[in-house]
Amino acid sequence: MTRQPASRREWAKLTLSGAMATLFLACGMVCAAGEPAVRPPGWQADPKLLEELHKKNARGEYNEAAVPAYRLPDPLVCEDGSRVTTRQQWEQKRRDETLELFRRTVYGRRPERTGEMRFDVLAKDEKAMEGKATLKRVKITCTDGGRSFAFEASLLIPNGATGRVPAFVLINNREVKSADPTRQTKDPFWSAEEIIARGYAAAVFQTNDVDPDKPDEASRAKGVRGALTSAGKAGEDAWGTIAAWAWGASRIMDYLATDANIDASKVAIIGHSRGGKTALWAGAEDSRFSLVISNDSGCGGASLSRRHFGETIEIINRSFPHWFCGNFKQYGGHENDRPVDQHQLMALIAPQAVYVASADADFWADQRGEFLSLANASPVYALYGYTGLKLDEMPPLETPTIRDRMAYHIRRGGHGLTLYDWQQYLNFADRLWRTERP
């Protein structure tokens, strides 16, 4: 456990030199509890946007000076107090411990077995997107112990590609028209044309097709949680809806691994808001995703809950009691009692690539908390030889920062997934996968 700097002097230490900042990073430090006299470089909250929030009496805490002092669990310290110094120790011990803590206290446990998988291509259009892509509509069926569940996904593959192509999988938590596979309706939320133009495939599935986004038992019975048995105990660590959606993402990965057009070693999983929370958990549970992207995911996703800024655990569990496992509810108002925080969720994704993005006006998601969470995962990436983000280098608006397999940007505007966001993710993928644009 490491203490958060709480004084101007400690902030000065953070900015003395790159070497000193690296030292603080290795210790897992996070930003100060109060507004520092000398602000670190990079993004700063727009006072006008904050004033608008106060006028609206918006829920949540939006005063940076009110962020409490807190201690983050060190991602490299095991339950028995021993310290991880090698990737082997991380993979053989601490990673499993951390994954277990998230299953038990945050997202719950998915079924232990996948069961028998079946994939049926229900429809195929080789002239989709004005002839630029082939559209497949795929039914995915999972059967286990005499019980089965099926849902559909859509896949656009660029025509004229030579060999297998990488793919982006969007977890769509909005209406179908936000990510219309037929492209009769085009929305920046799913910039499929941009994806195809880069030479990548674009897959999408609807979260409600996997598990309805409603808390009542009747809705639960219609989704995968009603069809397949969780490995956890009801009311405690049985899987919540986010874990169910993440399960769906993994089943799509199962299909992509069988598609002769797809390079299954280069598949990105991306989600916005609740979909972003899902993408992070999917990436933690399933290391086959080579790139994990969180867009404005906030509480229960990328942001540090101990900052108690914007949406909190208490608020999110009251509004969406079905998203997480029952045990997560005990941490509402008691964030410091959590055995983990969200920087450890991103650490679980290592050594695969992770990209976190925020929006200037999206204080509900705690932009600074999202960045700090990503930066505090850097010590785990360092075990694999990758340079991570430093705590004092949150970039200015629309200035993406990339460090090996870690990237972050904050754009202008509010809560949403925009063309600008997609362009940055695709640029990162170009760099990560070393592909050439057609």
- The pLDDT tens digits of the residues spanning 144-172 come to 888 999 999 999 999 999 999 999 999 99
Residue 139 clears pLDDT 70, i.e. is over it: yes
Architecture of the domain whose range is 106-433: 3-Layer(aba) Sandwich (3.40)
Is pLDDT larger for residue 33 or for residue 140? 140
Residue 388 clears pLDDT 70, i.e. is over it: yes
Catalytic residue among 178, 273, 294, 358: 273
Compute φ and ψ for 143, nearest 5 degrees: -125, 130
- Per-residue model confidence (pLDDT) at position 4: 42
- Per-residue model confidence (pLDDT) at position 196: 98
Catalytic residue status for 343: no
Residue 10 clears pLDDT 70, i.e. is over it: no
Half-sphere exposure of 396 (CA within 13 A, CB side): 1
pTM for the whole structure: 0.91
- Per-residue model confidence (pLDDT) at position 41: 75
- Per-residue model confidence (pLDDT) at position 39: 56
- Per-residue model confidence (pLDDT) at position 1: 43
Averaged over 44-59, what is the pLDDT?
A: 88
Catalytic residue among 148, 219, 250, 415: 415
* CA-closest candidate to residue 390, choices 65, 32, 30: 30
Residue 267 clears pLDDT 50, i.e. is over it: yes
- Per-residue model confidence (pLDDT) at position 437: 45
Radius of gyration of the chain (CA): 21
- Per-residue model confidence (pLDDT) at position 17: 31
Per DSSP, 61 falls in state B
Is pLDDT larger for residue 327 or for residue 15? 327
Compute φ and ψ for 157, nearest 5 degrees: -120, 130
Residue 23 clears pLDDT 50, i.e. is over it: no
- Per-residue model confidence (pLDDT) at position 3: 37
Half-sphere exposure of 172 (CA within 13 A, CB side): 25
Sketch the domain layout of the chain as residue ranges.
Answer: 106-433
Q: Which of 40-54, 116-130, 264-278, 289-303 has the lowest mean pLDDT?
A: 40-54
Catalytic residue status for 415: yes
Per the DSSP assignment, residues forming a β-bridge with 109 are: 238
- Per-residue model confidence (pLDDT) at position 22: 36
- Per-residue model confidence (pLDDT) at position 25: 37
Relative to beta strand 291-295, strand 262-272 is parallel
pLDDT, the chain, mean: 90
pLDDT in tens, 356-384: 999 999 999 999 999 999 999 999 999 99
- Per-residue model confidence (pLDDT) at position 40: 67
pLDDT in tens, 276-292: 999 999 999 999 999 99
> 262: which residues sit within 8 A by CB, 6+ positions away?
157, 164, 165, 166, 167, 201, 256
pLDDT in tens, 115-128: 899 999 999 999 99
Residue 31 clears pLDDT 90, i.e. is over it: no
Averaged over 199-215, what is the pLDDT?
A: 98
- Per-residue model confidence (pLDDT) at position 27: 37
Contact present, 291 and 429 (Cβ < 8 Å): yes
Q: How confident is the model at residue 435 (pLDDT cuts 50, 70, 90)?
A: low
Residue 134 three-state SS: strand
For residue 4, the tally of other CB atoms under 10 A from its CB is 20
For residue 121, the tally of other CB atoms under 10 A from its CB is 12
Rounded distance, CA 278 to CA 297, Å? 9
Averaged over 395-416, what is the pLDDT?
A: 98
Per DSSP, 146 falls in state T
Rounded distance, CA 316 to CA 355, Å? 23
> 45: which residues sit within 8 A by CB, 6+ positions away?
64, 363, 367, 368
Contact present, 297 and 273 (Cβ < 8 Å): yes
- Per-residue model confidence (pLDDT) at position 286: 98
